Structure 1
Amino acid sequence: MGLLPVEIKVNVEGDVPGALSALGSSRGVLTSRRIWFAEDRQGAAGGRVPLLDHGVIVRFRLGGGTEDLTVKLRPCDSEQLVGRFSDPFQAGPFTYRIEEDWSGNGRVLAASLVRDCPPGTLGEAVAPGADAAAAMDAVQDQFLHACAPSVPLDGLAALGPVMSTKIDDVPLDGLKADLEVWSVAGLEFLEVSIRVKPKDEDDRETFTERAERKQRKLEEAVRERGVELSEHPETKTRRVLTALVEAGGGLTRPAPSA
């Protein structure tokens, strides 16, 4: 596995509308979507998030004229990624990415298999009582069974929706940043992110130094606009899923068989 792209993130809490304004959100392209996360139904009913605890994220996004279903391993390690999943690929309707996620001092490896779906495809899978696992394609099943074989995938329930507003390609001190707001269960987060891709001439040291410079530049650009960065140690996905489980998150028992 060669050099991998890096997604660099900072999170903002508190006055999210004020932060959006300060960061120039009006200069980007806005998309509104609803997001659900699948979790083990029994675990979620007991206040737990077993899939997430095993590093597995199953995410449904609906709205903005598109739908997609993402299966992600985060954190993972390169030894887990076997066979066809040891290298990124794109083969419609699938996009398979392997990249590093950087947030503050944390750096983890993430692998995600995204399937683009026609509008109207995923609504049944996120309905109360539905088995969310049924929406996963055979390739996504293969990915999880090959790279996370110990994770049980029977009886998944979709928790949500999380309301998402994403503004892409916002110019920020020479960077192109994406801003995404998540709102659910009394929580509101703003994530500011950039992607850094390796160049042909990069070696690991050169690329890492360039990514670290851009990370510092992003953090400084946000702070210089009077926006305070969140110091919360947990990822926004874990915080949102925990809040959804505690709130019930639309979780209901499956309808009894006739």
Structure 2
Amino acid sequence: MPLEHPVEIKITVGGDPTESPPGSVDEAVQALELPDGRARRIWFLEDLTPGLTQHLPMLETGQIFRVRLDEKKNGSREADATVKLRPARRTQLPHPWDRAHSAGEAPKDGTDGYEYRIEEDWAGTRRFLAASLKVDIDPVRLTPEDAPEDSRQSALPPREVFGEHHQRFLAACADRRVVLAALTPLGPIEGTRWKDVKVGKFTTMVERWTVEGLDFLELSIQLEAGSKGDPLERLIAFSTAVAARGLNPFSRQETKTRRVLEHLAHRAGA
């Protein structure tokens, strides 16, 4: 049966010092023969209200808030702000949020464009439907022209870049009302991305995330909507191809978002 939605299959390498000794991620980069990749910085927003029974309430209720800043090889920059519902239910996605769509023209909130996706995320035994709205933003809002070139922190709190389009998406689809101003920015995470990396017969996206005390690679492939491939068979074959390159996947496979949010929230609490 053709796939109703795209399926992204993810495998994590590294990320735990007890399983991955220092230098193991560097060795994985060498094993994959990766050239210089595209640098990026990533922030997440979470509710760190003291005394909550849930450690990561936004993540645990399926709401993810992310801001990215990409450094292009020609020296220019791109930035976007994303709200993702994961896991999402089909019953919480009314029209027009029941289908993927995008716009190249600026929405009402003055951004450059947006992309709305519905896809399945597979990481180990985890299978989630995810609905995400990515809105392009002006990178100057994150790194003003007069900011030091080596500045790591955003001069503008990332929560301020979520605009009307995100608010409409949340109002229509989210189970819980969110006051963005009450969320705490976490990060930045230093990232590097490589596209079109050959791993066996698979064309793979590779992304490295590094933040104090945490360093790992995520390798991912995507099955397009309408394709007839069995995702489970592809997962097994992809895992075999990764192992054949001498890489040792982390035993606790999960999304990189959860891994870094747990790390960043623990560090912020400490």
TM-score, structure 2 normalization: 0.80
2:86 is paired with a residue whose SS is strand
Aligned length: 238
1:225 match: 245
2:179 match: 153
Tell whether the 8 Å contact from 2:124 to 2:254 is kept in structure 1 after alignment: no
1:11-90 correspondence to structure 2 within 5 Å? 11-13=12-14, 14=20, 15-26=24-35, 30-42=37-49, 48-64=55-71, 65-90=77-102
Tell whether the 8 Å contact from 2:48 to 2:265 is kept in structure 1 after alignment: no
Q: Whose helix proportion is higher, 1 or 2?
A: 1
Tell me the C-alpha RMSD between the 2 structures.
Answer: 2.5
1:8 aligns with 2:9: yes
Identity over aligned pairs, percent: 37
> What amino acid maps onto 2:130 in structure 1?
A
2:196 corresponds, among 146, 151, 169, to 169
Q: CA deviation at 1:190?
A: 0.6
1:101 is paired with a residue whose SS is strand
> What amino acid maps onto 1:134 in structure 2?
E
Which runs of no fewer than 5 residues in structure 1 stay unpaired?
Answer: 252-258
Query: Bigger shift: 8-17 or 38-47?
Result: 38-47
Tell whether the 8 Å contact from 1:185 to 1:243 is kept in structure 2 after alignment: no
CA distance 1:44–1:117, change in 2 (3 Å): farther
Alpha-carbon separation, structure 2, partners of 1:239 and 1:134: 24
TM-score, structure 1 normalization: 0.83
> What amino acid maps onto 2:13 in structure 1?
V
Alpha-carbon separation, structure 2, partners of 1:45 and 1:177: 39
Tell whether the 8 Å contact from 1:60 to 1:122 is kept in structure 2 after alignment: no
1:192-231 correspondence to structure 2 within 5 Å? 192-199=219-226, 206-207=228-229, 209=230, 211-231=231-251
Alpha-carbon separation, structure 1, partners of 2:195 and 2:179: 33
Tell whether the 8 Å contact from 2:11 to 2:218 is kept in structure 1 after alignment: yes
CA distance 1:35–1:44, change in 2 (3 Å): farther
Alpha-carbon separation, structure 2, partners of 1:233 and 1:218: 14
Tell whether the 8 Å contact from 1:73 to 1:110 is kept in structure 2 after alignment: yes
Alpha-carbon separation, structure 2, partners of 1:157 and 1:228: 34
CA distance 1:54–1:180, change in 2 (3 Å): same
1:142 aligns with 2:149: no
1:108 match: 128
Alpha-carbon separation, structure 1, partners of 2:158 and 2:27: 36
CA distance 1:152–1:46, change in 2 (3 Å): same
Q: CA deviation at 1:46?
A: 9.7
Residue deviations 1:19-64, cap 9 Å, x none? Answer: 12212323xx721111000112535999932211111111011131
